[in-house]
């Protein structure tokens, strides 16, 4: 067992590149796409602002879609309970 450990240690020492840790973080694909689309290198703060804006827009859209869905359901429910109002028109 110690011979195998020694052999692995010597192999690592022979190739110091194997000992280096990767400190580079993978780049966000969305950031890459935006930079490509507009041919502009985004700063971290600008990209964070863009992400925040997108998040806010998505939240607003979810709320609006929920309100619209509830209004449509309410209108359908009222029409089912009061069919005479649609027939008079």
What percent of the chain is helix, strand and coil (3-state, nearest 5)? 80, 0, 20
**8 Å CB contact between 41 and 32:** no
DSSP string, 24-47: PPPPPHHHHHHHHHHT-PPPHHHH
Q: What is the pLDDT of residues 14-73, one digit of tens each?
A: 666 665 665 666 778 999 999 999 999 999 999 999 999 999 999 999 999 999 999 999
Instruction: Compute the average pLDDT of residues 4-20.
Output: 67
Q: Which residue has the higher pLDDT, 76 or 4?
A: 76
User: What sign does the dihedral 73-74-80-86 (CA atoms) show?
Assistant: negative
**Predicted structure pTM score:** 0.56
- Give the residue extent of every domain in the chain: 2-87
């Amino acid at each position: 067992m110690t011979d195998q450990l020694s052999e692995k240690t010597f192999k690592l020492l022979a190739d110091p590149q194997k000992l280096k840790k990767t400190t580079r973080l993978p780049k966000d694909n969305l950031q890459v796409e935006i930079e490509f689309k507009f041919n502009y290198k985004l700063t971290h703060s600008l990209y964070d602002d863009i992400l925040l804006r997108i998040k806010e827009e998505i939240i607003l859209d979810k709320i609006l879609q929920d309100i619209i869905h509830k209004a449509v359901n309410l209108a359908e429910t009222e029409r089912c309970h009061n069919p005479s109002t649609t027939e008079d028109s």
